[in-house]
Amino acid sequence: MTTSAIPTPSQGIASAAAGDSMADSAATTAFRQRMSRVDREAEERAAERQHAKGKRTARERIDDLLDESTFLEIGRYTGSGAGDRARPSGVVTGFGQIDGRQVAVYSQDFSVSGGALGSVEGDKIVRLLDDALRLRIPVIGLIDSGGAKIQEGVGALRQYGRIFNRTCAASGLVPQISVILGPCAGGAVYNPALTDFVIATREASHMFVTGPDVVRSVTGENISAEDLGGARIHGSVSGVVHYVAEDEGDALGQVRTLLAYLPSSVEAEAPHYAYDDSDAEADAQTARTVGSLVPSSTRQAYDVVDVVSAVVDHGELVQVQEEFATNVVVGFACFEGQPVGIVANQPLVDAGTLDVDASEKLARFVRFCDAFGLPVVTFVDVPGYRPGAEQEHAGIIRRGAKVINAYATATVPLVTVVLRKAYGGAYIVMGSKAIGADLNFCWPGAEIAVLGAAGAVGIIHRRDLATVRSEQGDEAAAAEQERLIAEYTESVINPDKAVAIGEIDAVIAPEDTRTVIVDSLAALRGKNDARPTSPKKHDNVPL
């Protein structure tokens, strides 16, 4: 029996040099040429269609979002193969880095069948979500699609269901951010709504379950896409959109900003930033002025954003849902390099009262922070709930209860500071000690009671005041009312009683607010967030 000679290493190198290596084989050369042509033609077609509308292509958006040269595309030619019939699908999927941290990203390609979702696109997104769950990394979806592929019928709808399923599985495990950069209609709108944050561009994005044409045919209402489901509407009226961006660059920049405060998963810690003595001195100097920003009269308005900015690192507060339910403020900030969630009443808007929208805004934000291990610092200046039939009929009882559930079930460090006043049920729900906060403080003279002094006196001494009015006249009744208000304020509303029963841990001077918060967070850093084992599956929170 004869055998072929086995080439030596030197012979192999010589053979490769002679021109028959895989590097320049006929198959490799043909592959390079074919892929170069397919990729070039696809990107040229995408650029022609998208740039004419002032929009970027799917791959340009990914390049703008991720750190340079970090994108690894997965499944580029899924559905067609990489042979002679190679063509891209309607979605680009893969992995990359943002500030050096790994993320999963998909970007719908409107230049391919309007970015419509079918079996191929659905499979790619589902695979990416499965990988993100397995790898425990954030997911960013760049949405620009005409919806489901009609020709695929229920098969396309099935893919939406599979995506919804994976998105729900990822909720609370890894951060999920949706960026609406074009149309998002029908069943497709629900996936962004299931994610943690929705960002939309002011001009180009639209979200609606049924579009203007359907609305017109069914109800007779003539409405534009912008007025029905533009970013402005969803940012300020419905609350679906958490950040309204001026353009695509602003939208993608906001993704990077949000991720800077968030952990990659529930199992990881949030980033901790370097914070030196010069930073501390600059912030301490600013924090000493915070008391001058707040009027002593509880009836005089001020901007609580200025207050928060005065006490957080570098004055930086990244608001969430800034244009929705503006009577409360929520967002992210840092204390000595540690990211936290911020919650505050906004006296500039409706005196900072709580209503149905504000309640849901607060509750969802607190629950998000709790899910991902971010401490919550709450600044309270609230006169109560907004009164009226409109609020009652809109479900203030049911929807307000969501705030209670969010704070009561939270296991992260909770620090609360009452600035001027906190009345009634609104006091209880805004991170009170009784509901579960760890450390609670207030400024001198803070009014903490069931009602404001005037309201309380009007109820408690109604008959006495009526008697004085009938016997001595209106002037005497007014004087008596003022005396009773001062007496009630002195004996009931001042913070002494709250301190005495342990609802307030200490009265602090305004200029000490930052220091107290920093020390509190340090003390609570080792808080064990594990709940006792329980047979129940989950809370039945009012929805």
Q: How far is CA 259 from the centre of its chain?
A: 10
Find the catalytic residue in 75, 79, 172, 187.
187
Query: Which phi and psi angles does 62 have, rounded to 5°?
Result: -65, -45
> Structure tokens of 203?
């001009």
In which region does residue 109 sit, left (phi positive, over 0), alpha (psi from -120 to 50) or beta (all else)?
beta
In Å, what is the CA distance from 392 to each residue of 389, 504, 542? 5, 31, 15
User: Which residue's structure tokens are 């709108």?
Assistant: 189
Q: Which of 211, 395, 424, 425 is catalytic?
A: 425
Closest CA to 275 of 318, 226, 312, 310: 312
Residue 186 among the catalytic residues: yes
- Answer yes or no: 249 catalytic: no
3-state SS string for 126-178: HHHHHHHHHHCCCEEEEECCCCECHHHCHHHHHHHHHHHHHHHHHCCCCCEEE
Structure tokens belonging to residue 319: 């608001």
Whether 122 sits among the annotated catalytic residues: the reply is no
- Pairing between β-strand 414-423 and β-strand 439-442 as defined by DSSP bridges: parallel
| Residue among 115, 141, 186, 235 flagged as catalytic | 186
The continuous run of DSSP H or E covering 394 comes out as none
- Burial of 314: CB neighbours in 10 Å, binned 0-12, 13-18, 19+: middle
Q: What is the DSSP letter of 300?
A: S
Quote the longest CA-to-CA distance of the chain. 132
Strand runs (DSSP E) across 321-457, as ranges?
A: 328-335, 338-345, 376-382, 414-423, 439-442, 447-449
Whether 148 sits among the annotated catalytic residues: the reply is: no
Q: Which residues are part of the catalytic machinery?
A: 186-187, 425-426
